[in-house]
Structure 1
Amino acid sequence: MKRNYICFFVALLFFPGAYSSVYVEWQQEQDSVAFYVDKGFSMLNNDFLTALKILEKADALAAASNDPEDRADVAYAYGYAYYVKGNYDLSLQHYLEALEIYQATGNQLSMAKSLVGQGLIQQGIDRNRAAINLFNEAIDAYNESGDPARANPAYLNIAISQIEVEEYEKALDNLQTALELSKKAGRIDVEHLALNRIAQINFFRGNYDKAIEFYFRVLNHQTEPSNWEKSFAHAGLAQVYAAQEKYEQAEEMGQKALVFARDLQSIWDLERNTGILSNVYQSQGKTAEAFEYLALNQKYRDSLYNQNKLRAINLLQLESKEGENLKLQLEKKAVEKQLFTNRIFLGILVLAVLLLLILAFMFRKNIRQKEQFTTQLQKKNQTISEQNRLISRQNEDLSEMNEAKNRLFSILSHDLRSPLASLEQLLGLIKSGDFTPEEQASLLDEMLVQVSGTSSMLQNLLHWANSQLEGSKVNIEKVDLQQKASKIIKAYYLIAKRKNIKFIQQQVEDLSPVMVDRGHISVILHNLLSNAIKFTREGKEINISFEEREETVLMNILDGGEGISQEKINEIKKFNNRMISEIGTSMETGTGIGLMLVKHFLGINEATLDIKNHPGKGAEFIVAFRKA
């Protein structure tokens, strides 16, 4: 823009007669497709709606010019714009349109950009291996174009996919290449992106100081980064500070990141940033805020990965294959038309005998071509069938996610009900005013113990709930079984005291830790201890002991009840669905999901459950966890 103004005034100063022609040339350049495409790109990372309106002007000019390169450039710009917005279906449609035109015109450089765009979409739906293949194809196209320095975004995006599959050393090598090429090509935006990703790798490796250094290199860069990169850098700093337990700084950075993401209207950034803030508030014990941002995170996650989008992408792929079939059919008709024209021409020039020979030759050739087209159509139909099977598998995955959410709500209602009911009863007793100040102080002390235990349980449930909403992931780690049991026993202090029940927990020195998901073991122990209290008679004991074996660590829970029938033991071991809950020793009722959940999470963590009956003395539940 600045160069155009300088040329205009130089022409006016030294060639006054050239004023009219210079102005017309300048005006035409302002109304060109390239001008509006470049302007749209410059606005894209800061104001999506304005950028889209500018691209609509470019689209109108391209349609009027009927230049295939103009149409391809606009299609590519739309593809990138919708990718930034998170509309992968529309993005893929435009990238495919642009690639087809660039292939027809032989524009290697633009072909490479379109391949990078398709790779970004594969990356966006977590198909990172396929994305890496597309980015490598793009690098080959950049090299064939004679301008290999332009391949810097392809190297950057290969590194991003390698980060997702945890190939950090390869990712660092490609990021270094992207930095070097971006300096040669003058791509400051790619430099910002590469620095952000280097910071991210350092965070994943636990090098927090290095991560902070690289994130601030982006934010303090001499060329101001885009809102997109500001959002990523602030979100990364929030993660680092949270890992360092600097929660106030983490919250500040997370909120800044969210502001930039909302300005961008980028669903990907909104999903990431709300997830980070949910974890930060959870770590601070701010339950309401944690749930608020967790709900927002799930909303944006569903927007990115909902079933309709997955179907739309697959349908576009199918339409692409069907388009290829249509192209083959049109080519077939064109060949047949050409054959007919040739027969007419030959019939005028040659004798009847030669005409018959030529017709016979053409007939044989036509048969071979039909066979070839039939084979190709069969291959395309096979591809369509494979795509349909893929859609079916994806529907099954979505069903599994819905089942995980249902389990989540069942667990929350089941495990929080008893502690909260106890607190409610105590508050009612205090409100009645029938107690002396000393008795009220004692009751408040008991409530403090109960609240402390319930708070610990709630934190575990939040941690587990967050993992469930992310797709039922299992995070196996070392857990001190004795310490975990002691914490959970505190949550049932008042419930046990109300029945005058004592917990007797054996302490084993140097007991090996177990390998289990920390959230899952909380659910397992909560339900087993709750059941033990439920079926223990008033004034009796619940004995908890531990035993270490060669490959496992056993936890034995012996209640003080009447025992359990062999028929009930067989029912628990056999069924995986909700069972009819039995009445406890003090007429307690239940939902019937507790033992079902125990069996479910034991299976996921490769643990086992055994049950023994001691008539008149109680039932013994023996859980065997994998030893670390």
Structure 2
Amino acid sequence: MSQIIRFSFLALMCLFAFQNTVFGTPHPKDSINFYLKESKKYTYSDFSTAKLYLAKADKIAHQLNDKNAIADVEFQFAANYYIFGSYDVALKHYIKAAQIYDAQNNRLGVAKCLMGQGIILQSYDRDEEALKKFKKSIAICRALKNHSFVIKNLLNMGVSQANLNLYNEAYESFTESLKLSRKLKFEEDSQMAMNKLANTHYVKNHLDSAVYYYQKVLNDKVKPNLWEEAYALSGLSEVYLKKGDYPAAIDFGLKGFEKAKTVKAKWDIARSAEILSNIYRKKNDYKSAYEYLKINKRYNDSLYAESRIKAVNILQLEAKESENEKLAAKAETAQQKLNNTRIFVGFVIILLVSLSIFTYYYYQYTKQRGEFFKEIAIKNREIQSQQSMITAQNIALEELNQTKNKMFSVISHDLKTPINSLIQVIELNKQNDLTKEEQDFIFEQLQKQVKGTSLVLNNLLHWANSQIDGTSVHFEKIILNQITEESISSFYAEVVKKKVSFNHNYNEDIFIKADIGQTRIIIQNIIANAIKFAPINSRIDIFYSSDKRNTKRFTSKTLEMVLTRVK
């Protein structure tokens, strides 16, 4: 019988072992997270239950010696004590959590505790100090891209800014937190942001906007917690009091008062009682007004007494923290001295090695520098040579540009008159006023004109080409009177039009030594000007004369023109 019992016991033990192996047991860290989550559920409604869950989480965290988990529990303790109104106890937990987070290099944890300390300072009207904490915290949270705590910091910054009457800055902080919380679907944060925006609108006397945001909180698809609900109801009561709608103000005020009592939030109870007292006073119901005024005074006195005690505790805590910081600073100074000694020894060793390396490289550098300077001198000479070439090319281009301008000026001047003549002949023919004999005569004259114009154009193009190419002057023996005859014939149409005649006198061919292209251009210009300025029915006399200026080198012959009117 005893063997059967023993066997059964062993079988049961194996079964339990198998069950644990197959189905597993909860991990202790999961239990910590579970208790933390459960505690948060009761943060705003039941402080005792929330504290009970935190105690269980704290016990497991210390058993595991998980520093980050211990800090998380301390942080949640601080948050719960803050909501309960025990600011001095909350601050102790925030400081303790911050020390653990800092030792674990948990930057997010440090940021959370900075925010918590800022909230405590805010509760004691030290809003400027609180803002510094919030700004440090939000900078870390933005760097870590932790949007949840960015939102919370924005909300707390807005509260301090409103307390300092910086309502525009507060409005921007609340608006940004609302946009971000809606985007990430953080309902609780968005409700808090809407409550704060509503209060800001109330202070700025935007009553309709205040009602809009308070109603948004109360009618949100996710039911607000008791704290936010009490705040919104009392806020609506305050707005309707200002609007003069006393029935609505009383209705919302009583609801807000009951919610505040449920959550046991002394500040909210005092606020609701004060609003109700003001409403009843406006309605001349002085008895009810007095009752709520007594409630307001009782809670305000309690808050004041607690705040004085807590303020003393805060100061003592800060003094202790200051002493701890001094001790830490001394320890850090001693460690720094030791580190400095090590750094100095290391520096001396590095310096000796560096000097050896420097000496070697300096020798190499000096050697290479001489070769480098030689290369630079060669490059400089090449650059100077190239600069000289570029300068010469620029001068040549400038001269070429000037030549181009002069060429177009000459061509336009010398071709304008012949082309105008051709246009006039064509216009006469288009009018059909000419007889057959006149047409034959005109076309014969036109042919002469075209030949003359062609000759002028060829001469001009030859001269222009020589100018562009930079061709040098080519002296040769030419017959001057022959060039003159060719030039006269090229202006046939102009001569006929102005009814002028030429008297070209010479006894024999006149030879000169000159550049034939330039000579043609000169003769054409002289004859063109003579025709241009000659009166109608006049005669142009052309004759030659010569004078010897240097018999050893050349003889210069001058062409002159005399204009006389034919009488």
- Residue 44 of structure 1 aligns to a residue whose secondary structure is coil
Checking the alignment, whether the CA contact within 8 Å between 1:203 and 1:240 is kept in structure 2 is yes
Give the Cα separation in 2 of the matches to 1:266 and 1:149. 25
Equivalence for 2:109 = 110
Rounded to whole Å, the distance in 1 between the matches of 2:216 and 2:280 is 27
Change (3 A) 1:335 1:114: closer
Larger RCO (CA within 8 A; separation ≥ 6): 1
Partner amino acid for 2:318? Q
CA 22–152 in structure 1, closer or farther in 2 if over 3 Å, else same: farther
Residue in 2 that maps onto 1:96: 95
Residues 192-231 of structure 1 aligned to structure 2 (within 5 Å): 192-231=191-230
Partner of 1:320: 321
Q: Does 1:288 align with 2:287?
A: yes
Counterpart-to-counterpart distance in 1, 2:266 and 2:234: 14
User: 2:246, 2:273 → 1: CA distance?
Assistant: 15
Question: Separation in 2 of the partners of 1:199 and 1:282?
Answer: 24
For residues 285 and 28 of structure 1, do their structure 2 counterparts lie closer, same or farther at Cα, with a shift above 3 Å needed? same
1:85 is matched with 84
Change (3 A) 1:333 1:198: closer
Change (3 A) 1:279 1:22: farther
Task: Mark the runs of 5 or more structure 2 residues left unpaired by the alignment.
Answer: 1-16, 343-567
Letter in 1 for 2:161: Q
CA contact (8 A) 1:88 1:309 kept: yes
Secondary structure of the corresponding residue to residue 169 of structure 2: helix
1:422-476 Cα offsets, whole Å, 9 max, x none, are xxxxxxxxxxxxxxxxxxxxxxxxxxxxxxxxxxxxxxxxxxxxxxxxxxxxxxx
Residue type of the alignment partner of 1:76: F
Query: Which residue is 2:156 aligned to?
Result: 157
- 1:201 positional shift: 1.4
Rounded Cα–Cα distance in structure 2 between residues aligned with 1:27 and 1:135: 35
Cα contact 2:276–2:292 (8 A) shared by 1: yes
5 Å-filtered alignment, 1:13-162, equals 20-21=20-21, 23-26=23-26, 28=28, 32-148=31-147, 150-162=149-161
CA pair 334-205 structure 1, distance change in 2 beyond 3 A? closer
1:171–1:27 Cα change, 3 Å? same
For 1:155 and 1:120, locate their aligned partners in 2 and report how far apart those are by CA, in whole Å: 12
SS at structure 2 position matched to 1:233: helix
The change in CA–CA distance for 1:22 and 1:276 in structure 2 (over 3 A counts) is farther
**Do the aligned partners of 1:231 and 1:261 also contact (CA within 8 Å) in 2?**
yes
Q: Is 1:309 paired with 2:307?
A: no
| RMSD of aligned alpha carbons | 2.5
* Alpha-carbon shift at residue 193 of structure 1 (Å): 0.5
CA 1:106/1:255 → structure 2, altered by over 3 Å: closer, same or farther?
same
- TM-score, structure 2 as length reference: 0.53
CA displacement at 1:294 relative to structure 2: 1.7
Amino acid paired to 1:195: M
Q: Is the 8 A contact 2:273 2:292 kept in 1?
A: yes
- Partners of 1:199 and 1:156 in 2: how far apart? 13
Closer/same/farther in 2, CA of residues 18 and 187 from structure 1, 3 Å limit? farther
Aligned residue runs from structure 1 range 413-432, under 5 A: none
Q: Shift of the alpha carbon at 1:257?
A: 1.0
2:192 maps to a residue whose letter is L
Given the superposition, is the C-alpha separation of residues 22 and 28 from structure 1 closer, same or farther in structure 2, using an over 3 Å criterion?
A: farther
Q: Aligned equivalents of 2:91 and 2:240: distance in 1?
A: 37
Could you give the per-residue CA deviations for residues 135-158 of structure 1, whole angstroms, max 9, x where no partner exists? 111111102324356401101111
Per-residue deviation, 1:231: 0.4
Q: Secondary structure at the match of 2:224?
A: coil
Rounded Cα–Cα distance in structure 2 between residues aligned with 1:222 and 1:18? 47
Alignment partner, residue 186 of structure 1: 185
Q: How far 1:45 moved relative to its partner? A: 1.2
When structure 1 is superposed on structure 2, of 88-97 and 252-261 the one drifting more is 252-261
Cα distance between partner residues in 2 of 1:189 and 1:132: 22
- Cα distance in 2 for partners of 1:161, 1:25 equals 47
Q: Which has more radius of gyration? A: 2
Q: Per-residue deviation at 1:79?
A: 0.6
What is the deviation of 1:26?
4.1
User: Aligned runs of 1:558-577 on 2, under 5 Å?
Assistant: none
Matches within 5 A, 1:227-266: 227-266=226-265
Going from structure 1 to structure 2, the CA distance change for 1:226 and 1:23 (only over 3 Å counts) comes to: farther
Question: For 1:168-212, what per-residue CA distance to the aligned partner results, in whole angstroms no more than 9, with x for missing partners?
Answer: 221121112111222344321110001111111121122222211
Instruction: State how 1:392-541 maps to structure 2 within 5 Å.
Output: none
Return the letter of the residue paired with 2:197. I
Residue 92 (structure 1) shift: 0.6
CA distance in 2, matches of 1:38, 1:47: 14
Question: What SS does structure 1 have at the residue aligned with 2:172?
Answer: helix
CA 246–146 in structure 1, closer or farther in 2 if over 3 Å, else same:
closer
Residues 258 and 18 from structure 1, CA distance in 2 versus in 1: closer, same or farther, beyond 3 angstroms? farther
Letter in 1 for 2:158: A
Separation in 1 of the partners of 2:67 and 2:117?
20
Amino acid at match of 1:313: I
C-alpha separation between the residues in 1 aligned to 2:245 and 2:145? 49
1:270 deviates by 1.6
Assess if the C-alpha contact under 8 Å between 2:127 and 2:163 holds in 1. Answer: yes
Q: More helix by proportion, 1 or 2?
A: 2
Cα separation, 2, equivalents of 1:105 and 1:321: 22
Paired AA for residue 324 in structure 1:
E
* 8 Å Cα contact 2:72/2:97 also seen in 1: yes
Question: How far does residue 292 in structure 1 lie from its aligned partner after superposition?
Answer: 2.1
Deviation at 1:328, TM superposition (A): 4.8
Taking the aligned partners of 1:22 and 1:320, their CA distance within structure 2 comes to: 51
TM-score by length of 1: 0.48
Q: Which moved more, 1:243-252 or 1:180-189?
A: 180-189
Deviation at 1:291, TM superposition (A): 2.1
Q: Percent identity?
A: 32
The equivalent residue for 1:583 is none
Task: Verify the 8 A CA contact 1:150 1:185 in the aligned structure 2.
Answer: no
Alpha-carbon separation, structure 1, partners of 2:120 and 2:133? 10
Deviation at 1:218, TM superposition (A): 0.5
1:120 and 1:157 in contact (8 A); partners too = yes
State the distance in 2 between where 1:332 and 1:128 align: 33
Structure 1 residues not aligned, in runs of 5+ = 1-16, 343-628
Q: Is the 8 A contact 1:48 1:265 kept in 2?
A: no
